[in-house]
Amino acid sequence: MLFRSSYCRNFDNVFKTAKGSIIKSVDEKEYIDFFCGAGALNYGHNHSYIKQKLVDYILQDGIVHSLDMYTEKKAEFLDFFEKNILIPRGYDYKVQFVGPTGTNAVEAALKLARKVKKRSTIWSLIGAFHGMTLGSLALTSDEASRKGAGVSLSNVVHMPNEFTEGVDSIAYMEGILKDDHSGFEKPAAIIIETVQAEGGIWVFSKKWLQDLRALCDKYDILLIVDDIQVGCARTGTFFSFERAEIIPDIVTLSKSIGGYGIPFALTLFKKELDLWNPGEHNGTFRGHQLAMVASKASLEVFLNDHVEEMAKKRESIIQEFLEDIKKEYPNYLIRGIGCIFGIDVQDGDLSKKIVQNCFKNGLILERAGRKDSVVKIMPSLIIEEDLLKKGLTILKESIKEAERG
């Protein structure tokens, strides 16, 4: 018996091969991929350059598993990441290998923040998604996800965000922090996504992000940015917070930092926060060498192919398409940045029909947000422009088909 999870319920076919932005099923049907492994495949499937680096390393009998021992490929990755990603942006972060997935990076960030500040509470935001293990799930606001915990999810308070109707969220948080009768404990950290992806593609403004950074500074609170889904140039810059000209205290990376869809996760933090004792936070697969090889290769692609510029060019194509959709369906709400956009049709049944029609017509994408009413557009950052336009045309026709009933 096949255990039916979540995505396979919507994409009911058996897939066999994938290259670039095309996925093929066992019956040879081709699908354009606007899903990108939930953000793990910013460079598409089986990128030739990254693949060759992996194949070469495997054929040379390169070490695959090493825990946290010193290895050649770890040193090469760290050196390249520091010199080509961190230093040019003025970031002086330490890099911690935390395990294979994004939730591992978030759990490490939470433990470190609590250790540094000696406070147990973390503030998250309404609409947040940060992972499915208990610590990160406590940060996640989605009711259905939280119900899966089976235990109480504690030491987290969810605060209003920039888009919470009728609330000045920064003023609200500051009011709590300065009121000695608010009943709230000051948090060790506030964790945010600069673009709430699973929450419905909500893009926080530059000003709001700067105001939050200032609030954290004023009240001695660490700012954690979860860049797991919208990092690695998804928003048009390598780190999603670059546009706001802020520097978080801690950053979590996973998904596309692995380059090839290989599990990989990092927690970055300012050097003065490094209070870890040896072995205090570890994991069996935090030294996955194939991920380091693929990640370095993907960063080379990022730099050599000018992926930030490619993402911004594709952003213009998507925006132009969505403007036409908005003219035809003025009740739809359009939100997004870079190569992550959402069409909020404000009806979960309608969004489901649209996604089903897209799949039938050869396009894979997913839904997000309240009641899953948002059709989520998330193609590869390097998808061929003609293929991007073809996928958008399929989406448009699928919307028309769904609206006709």
Q: What would the pLDDT profile of 124-161 be if each residue is shown by its tens digit?
A: 999 999 999 999 999 999 999 999 999 999 999 999 99
Is 3's pLDDT higher than 50? no
Q: Helices then strands (H, E): number in the chain?
A: 13, 17
Is 5's pLDDT higher than 70? no
**pLDDT of 6:** 64
Concatenate the DSSP letters of all residues of 291-318 into one string: HHHHHHHHHHHHHHTTHHHHHHHHHHHH
**pLDDT of 4:** 38
Q: What is the percentage of the chain residues whose pLDDT exceeds 90?
A: 94
Integer angstrom CA distances of residue 62 from 49, 59, 279, 288: 18, 8, 25, 11
User: Cβ(262)–Cβ(106) under 8 Å?
Assistant: no
Q: What would the pLDDT profile of 357-368 be if each residue is shown by its tens digit?
A: 999 999 999 999
What's the average model confidence in pLDDT over 250-257? 98
pLDDT band per the 50, 70, 90 thresholds, residue 405? confident
Q: What angle do CA 348, 192, 130 make, to 5 degrees?
A: 60
Q: For the chain, which domains are there?
A: 7-46+306-385 (3.90.1150.10), 51-304 (3.40.640.10)
Amino acid at 154: S
Q: What would the pLDDT profile of 301-336 be if each residue is shown by its tens digit?
A: 999 999 999 999 999 999 999 999 999 999 999 999
Q: Which residue has the tokens 């990989």?
A: 264
What's the average model confidence in pLDDT over 386-401? 98
